[in-house]
Amino acid sequence: MRHSLPLATQFYVTSAQPCPYLEGKLERKLFAGLQGEHASALNDALSKQGFRRSQNVLYRPSCAECSACMSVRIRVADFKPTKSQKRILRKNAHLLRDASAPWATEHQYELFKNYLETRHADGGMADMDMFEFSAMVEETPVRSRIVEYSTTHTLYERTELAAVCLTDLLDDGLSLVYSFFDPDLHKNSLGTYMILDHIEIAKEAGLPYIYLGYWVPGSPKMDYKSGFSALEVFTKGAWTALDDPSTFKSNNAMSGADPISEQVAAISLPDVLGS
């Protein structure tokens, strides 16, 4: 079904599919195409309203019987690392960061496949080939970077790729679209490290937020996101401070999202698109 806002921004709804986070639930997404000269402005505006980007599509959960998924972001200025996170920073201080235009390489793909086979073998991305991986990285109509983290072996004069993050540059922050790492280095907590390093990048750039995607209370796959301080969740149309995730009680899994027409009517578009 299609729903429209002014000047041809059209929203669609996916069919219901089994939820990958909560057993027995069905997921449905509200999404819009992302293209043209105003793609970055639309990405900026909708990211602030709980949407996420996947290639040339922006989407947000819109489940008929559940609204447990909430977009989360970190307030960079207020973030304070825990003792554990400080240890992770020290443990990975030797890594070299290289940020460049989003271009897929065979080394990235090899790391990506190894990561999926070890960590998410039953996931929807497990069968992606090199062509599909390249599309995920390169098919972006917005400002994006591919951030690589490598280890240098001076003795052998070579570098080894340890972790990769596809990152969008928003007008108010950085959005971590997708990240993966060498599963043999699981003790280095590279997933957490990449978030911590992006916080430092945002500080240096004067950007106020790090967007982490969706957090689902009660889902073990999402627990790591609640370990960061200065969190905010997008719920009921607004960003709300989540000062203590351990005490957060969500009844959203028991109630569905608003009707699609009401959701679309409440979306604010950037001025260039007739908001």
Summarised one tens digit per residue, pLDDT across range 82-101 is: 999 999 999 999 999 999 99
Give the residue numbers spanning the domain of 199: 76-209
Summarised one tens digit per residue, pLDDT across range 253-270 is: 556 777 888 888 889 888
State yes or no: pLDDT of 4 exceeds 50: no
Q: Which two tokens stand for residue 235?
A: 């719920």
Pairing assessment for the beta strands 144-153 and 70-75 based on DSSP bridges: unpaired
> Does 193 reside within a domain?
yes
Q: Which of 19-23, 67-71, 139-143 has the highest mean pLDDT?
A: 139-143
CA separation for the pair 70, 5 (Å, rounded) = 23
- Residue 130's H or E segment, with its range, is helix 130-138
The predicted model scores a pTM of 0.90
CATH label of the domain that carries residue 165: 3.40.630.30
CA separation for the pair 200, 195 (Å, rounded) = 9
SS3 91: helix
> Does 86 reside within a domain?
yes
- Residue 72's H or E segment, with its range, is strand 70-75
> Does 123 reside within a domain?
yes
CA nearest to 185, candidates 203, 215, 210, 160? 160
> Does 7 reside within a domain?
no
> Does 143 reside within a domain?
yes
CA nearest to 12, candidates 59, 81, 70, 66? 59
Distance between first and last Cα of the chain? 22
Using alpha carbons only, how large is the chain's radius of gyration in Å?
19
Q: How many domains does the chain have?
A: 1
**Residue 30, strand partner residues:** 13, 60
State yes or no: pLDDT of 122 exceeds 80: no
Q: Which residue has the higher pLDDT, 37 or 79?
A: 79
CA separation for the pair 201, 184 (Å, rounded) = 26
User: Cα 184 to the chain's mean position, in Å?
Assistant: 23
Summarised one tens digit per residue, pLDDT across range 152-201 is: 755 455 579 999 999 999 999 999 999 999 999 999 999 999 999 999 99
State yes or no: pLDDT of 127 exceeds 90: no
